[in-house]
Homo-oligomer: A and B are copies of this chain.
Amino acid sequence: MTSVSFLSVEELLEWLRTQDIQTLLVELTERIEADFLRWDSFDKTPRVANHSQFGVIELMPTQDEITYGFKYVNGHPINTKLGKQTVTAFGVLSDVESGYPRFLSEMTYLTALRTAATSAMVAKHLARKDSKHMAMIGAGAQAEFQALAFAAVVGIESFAVTDTDPAAVEKFILNMQPYGFEIVSCLDANSATAGADVITTCTADKRNAIVLEDADVAPGMHINAIGGDCPGKTELELDILNGATVFVEYEPQTRIEGEIQAVDDDFPVTEFHQVLKGQAPGRISDSQITLFDSVGFAIEDFSVLAFIEERVFDTQHVVGLDLVAEPAEAKDLFANIARKGNSNG
């Protein structure tokens, strides 16, 4: 029987609890970087989004020569008021040669991990090399993953955190306690960003908000803008874009979903893989403001799915799922229905 390997939420968590999360984030960052370096070997398309008054559900496919992958992900900011996740996700890997799915995994946690790893990978190349202090606007579900990745990959040592929900900041501080970071709780973005080398904006409101003003941005900063990722959902004051050099994942998708939806279609941006490959400049001065207008791209999901598939392969964490029909004769799909005492028989 062809069976699809299934990694459930609980089994992924069991596996994650055996890992050093920062080591894992470093390895995942390397994996995503390796995949970005072979950018041209992937099929790329903007994700397919179905919007409603409640939120959005998206499908994000990509493939290389060997493996196809897609992620299902929703974005429903109202969910947290109902005790549900804003973002949940699952994903599938398939063999390109047969088209058969082979791996199904939860991706709510994997999305948090790959988003943090991607942010850190980009900041490692774009932030000033002496960056030590990060401001965090938004202390929601993604915050700890971002902090751990930036500490492990970029060398960030201290965090200034603010959130409209004080309980979220308390949660962040509690969760980060074992790691020994210096963490300051701030009343607003203005106080959080004072003296920061890097600013991460990660809020969940599905609307055009301004969580970061141009006045809060100083020369030399790197801005990691990950919360504006949907049409009508942005986080930055427009002037920030005009004063910064803007880097994106996949331009056709970011034009629809990113902070740059607020500016003209000819607003200059650089796809980050070009920086990695030496085809475009990254940061060129210590006073330049670099901005990663991140929306999350299918290749990042592909990377983390393939990474996890390898890690849990042949362990007790995966079980076989009977998802692919395999009649004894390929052309005889019908026989399986009819030949066991069908009332017509």
Contact = CB atoms under 8 A, between A and B. Distances in A.
Interface stretch (A52-60, A208-216, A230-238, A269-277): A52-60
A8 B323 contact: yes
A325 B54 contact: no
Interface in A163-193: 165, 167-168, 171, 175, 178-179
Q: How many copies does the complex hold?
A: 2
Given A21-B342, A88-B325, A145 B98 contact: no
A323 B144 contact: no
Contacts of A108: 324-325, 333
Interface stretch (A75-83, A249-257, A281-289): A75-83
B57 A72 contact: no
A109 B325 contact: yes
A250 to B, nearest CB: 15
B327 A85 contact: yes
Interface stretch (A29-37, A89-97, A154-162, A260-268): A89-97
Q: Which of A8, A9, A108, A336 has the most CB of B within 10 A?
A: A9
A103 interface: no
B141 A54 contact: no
Interface of A: 2, 6, 8-11, 13, 16-17, 19-22, 43, 45, 48, 50, 52, 54-57, 59, 61-63, 65, 68, 70, 72, 74-76, 79-80, 82-86, 88, 90, 92, 94, 96-101, 104, 106, 108-109, 112, 139-145, 165, 167-168, 171, 175, 178-179, 321-327, 329-338, 340-345
